[in-house]
Amino acid sequence: MSANSIAFHSDHDHQHCIEQALSSARQICSERKQRLTPIRELVLKLIWQSHKPLGAYELLPALAEAGFNSAPPTVYRALEFLQSQGLVHRIASLNAFIGCPSPDHSHDGCFLICTGCGTANEIEAASAMRDLQRQAEALGFKTQHQTIEIAGLCPNCRESAAE
C-alpha cells in the first residue's frame, strides 16, 4: 500500500504518524549511538505535526512555549542534526523542513508539494535518478546528492479548483 501518499489523505490518523515517527527516530538514534535530546525530539515532533513543510522560524515560538531557548541557532542546530540522521529533509524551493517517512534506509526522495494547501508528500525517485545518473556519468559527473521537488496541485485542491 502507498504509505507514501498518506499526507494527501486528510482523514488518516495523523497522531499515529507522529508517534510512529518519534518512536522510530528514538530507535534509530539509539542504534547509531546518537543523542535525540529533548530539543531535537521536540523539533522533530513539531515538524511531524504539520503536513506542510515548516520554516525554521515557525518552530521558534513552540520552542519558547516549551520553555526552551528560542534563538535561531537552537532550531538550526536541531534541524542540522535531524537532517544528518535522515529524519527530516530540507525543501530547497520552500526553505522549509519536513519529516522523512522512511528514515531507516537511504533513498532518493522526491517531494510533491501542493501550491494550493502547502501539503507535501515524499515519493521514491530511484528510477528517475537512475536515468539522470546515466546522463551525468556520460558527462563524467559524479553524483553526490540531489534535490528533486515538484510543485503542483494535490487531489483535494485539484477538486476545489475545478468547482
Write down the residue that cell numbers 512555549 correspond to.
65
Q: For a second copy, which is the closer residue by CB, 87 or 154? A: 154
CB of 131 to DNA, least distance (A): 28
Q: Which three cell numbers stand for residue 3?
A: 504509505
Site string for Zn ion, 94-133 (x = CB under 5 A): ------x--------x----x-xx----------------
Residue type for position 161: A
In 3D space, the residue among 68, 122, 65, 115 whose CA is nearest the CA of residue 90 turns out to be 122
Measure the CA angle with vertex 100, ends 94 and 103; round to 5°.
145
Binding range to Zn ion, per CB under 5 A, among 40-48, 75-83, 92-100, 125-133: 92-100
Instruction: Give the binding site for a second copy (CB under 8 A).
Output: 2, 4-5, 8, 92-93, 110, 112, 114-115, 121, 123-125, 127-129, 131-132, 135-136, 139-155, 158
CB of 161 to DNA, least distance (A): 22
Q: For a second copy, which is the closer residue by CB, 26 or 158? A: 158
In sequence order, the 6+-apart residues with CB closer than 8 A to the CB of 89 are: 83, 97, 98, 100, 109, 111, 122
Q: For Zn ion, which is the closer residue by CB, 53 or 109? A: 109
- Provide the 3-class DSSP secondary structure of residue 90: strand
Contact, 51 vs 8, CB < 8 A?
A: no
Q: Which residues bind Zn ion (CB under 5 A)?
A: 100, 109, 114, 116-117, 154, 157
